[in-house]
Structure 1
Amino acid sequence: MTQTDAISQDTKGSPIARITAFLYGLVAYLVFFGTFLYAIGFVSGLVVPKTIDTGTVVPMTQALIVNILLMSLFAVQHSVMARRQFKEWWTQYVPKSVERSTYVLLASLALILLVWQWRAMPTVLWQIADPQIAMAVTVVAFIGWLIVLTSTFLINHFELFGLHQIANNLVGRPMPAPRFRTPLYYKFVRHPIYLGFIIAFWAAPTMTVGHLLFAAVTTAYIVVGALLEERDLVDLFGDDYRRYKDRVSMLVPWRKSA
């Protein structure tokens, strides 16, 4: 979910079609928001009925295969559908006004499938025994989630999740052209959303085999996804983004970009 997701919008169609698109986008957003909240509990092991370390326990090899397939499905959907070439192809069939909402909905469904079918691998690799230190690590994890959420608002949360598009379509107004901006966190790291996820996934007072697998695979996907995304950003913003890459690190704050 990136700065590149502004897309031109079809402002033609009947009022019923526009209202339908608006309601569809709202449903997609609500599904996303509920899934996002559940994902926080799932990874953190708090509140929700099924967490990353609970649920079905199967032999290690089977759990490894199932979990990697689930994460791979999410990664492929999330990356392929975000690429400019794919958008240009499938907006021949999907109205541009709901392209982003559809992407968000399908990403949410892929995450729901992952949570539902995740196989627990509860063997503990390390655990922080001191309750105060454990609490501090949990707080760090929630800071990571907070960075994720606040970063989306810095670059336009409502456009990122399709609400801006469906609202403009409803009133017959085109989407504005994308602008290159680097507010707050973006002055220190090019991908604060991804950095927030990495912090949230790795800051765990109890690290199980399953949690380690999840954190390692998702971190690898984040790095690959960021590299793919930056190709689109260079195509979109040209020299502005090249200069930005030269002065700001991709994922490690304050480290000079390579």
Structure 2
Amino acid sequence: MFGIESRILILILVGVWLLYFVIHSILASLAVKRWFAARWPTLMPAYRLGFNGLALILLIPPLYLIFSATGPYLWQWTGIGWWLVNGLALVAVFGFALSLRYYDGGEFLGLRQWRERERCVEDQENFHISPLHRYVRHPWYSLGLVLIWTRDMNQEFLATAVMATLYFILGSRLEERKLIAYHGDIYRRYMDRVPGLMPLPWRYLSREQADRLEHDSRNG
């Protein structure tokens, strides 16, 4: 179905994404952060800023490969399907915008750590359950999957969608190891009640249950 050059391009793209995800996961790990803090403590306040900056720079090669590709579409949404998937994508964008109200932007970007010369390895945000976190533990990953899989697909974008999906599944598990290290039994209780990426009608927290978990976290 596809020529040799096209297959080579896909293999290169998969390899570039794999390298990106490996580097991202390694640098996000507590072990590497602790090693860095022990070796260069005066640079630790800039770690998060550098991490985010490098993540953006390393996105350039795979995005270039995707948007320079000229291969045919495997499928394109049309008619009612177009309205449906783009409606879902619009909801996902709205979800992202809504969720920003419940994140510490300075903490996420690394600006607060730099401004306050924070050398602590662990994130400093308290345990907090936003409205979206009552239904999935990783709402940004879930919304990202909606945006990815509602696009028209050529072979390069399909390879990217598969790689991103696998990384979100694996990355969410790696992230939860850190969250358990930060929050202990409270986060385990939260995991027991709320699914990871896919909302399930029978597994969610009411507002009262979320408030109770937050209360227990503050007073535990």
Fold conserved (TM > 0.5)?
yes
Structure-2 separation of matches of 1:87 and 1:146: 33
CA offset at residue 58 of structure 1?
A: 8.0
From the superposition, tell whether residues 66 and 146 of structure 1 become closer, same or farther in structure 2 (CA, over 3 Å).
farther
User: 1:47-196 maps to which residues of 2 (within 5 A)?
Assistant: 59-91=5-37, 92-93=39-40, 95-118=43-66, 120=69, 122-130=71-79, 133-169=81-117, 177-196=124-143
Unaligned segments of structure 2, at least 5 residues: 205-220
* TM-score, length basis structure 1: 0.68
Equivalent residue number for residue 9 of structure 1: none
Matched residues, number: 195
1:217 is aligned to 2:163: yes
Q: Which moved more, 1:114-123 or 1:221-230?
A: 114-123
Is the partner of 2:133 in helix, strand or coil? helix
CA offset at residue 88 of structure 1?
A: 0.6
Give percent identity, aligned residues only. Answer: 27
Structure-2 separation of matches of 1:80 and 1:149: 28
* Contact 1:121–1:209 (Cα < 8 Å) also in 2: no
CA offset at residue 147 of structure 1?
A: 2.8
* Contact 1:143–1:200 (Cα < 8 Å) also in 2: no
* Contact 1:141–1:202 (Cα < 8 Å) also in 2: no
- Name the structure with the higher helix share: 2
* Contact 1:137–1:203 (Cα < 8 Å) also in 2: yes
* Contact 2:21–2:167 (Cα < 8 Å) also in 1: yes
Unaligned segments of structure 1, at least 5 residues: 1-56
From the superposition, tell whether residues 158 and 71 of structure 1 become closer, same or farther in structure 2 (CA, over 3 Å).
same
* TM-score, length basis structure 2: 0.79
User: 1:189-204 maps to which residues of 2 (within 5 A)?
Assistant: 189-204=136-151
CA offset at residue 219 of structure 1?
A: 0.3
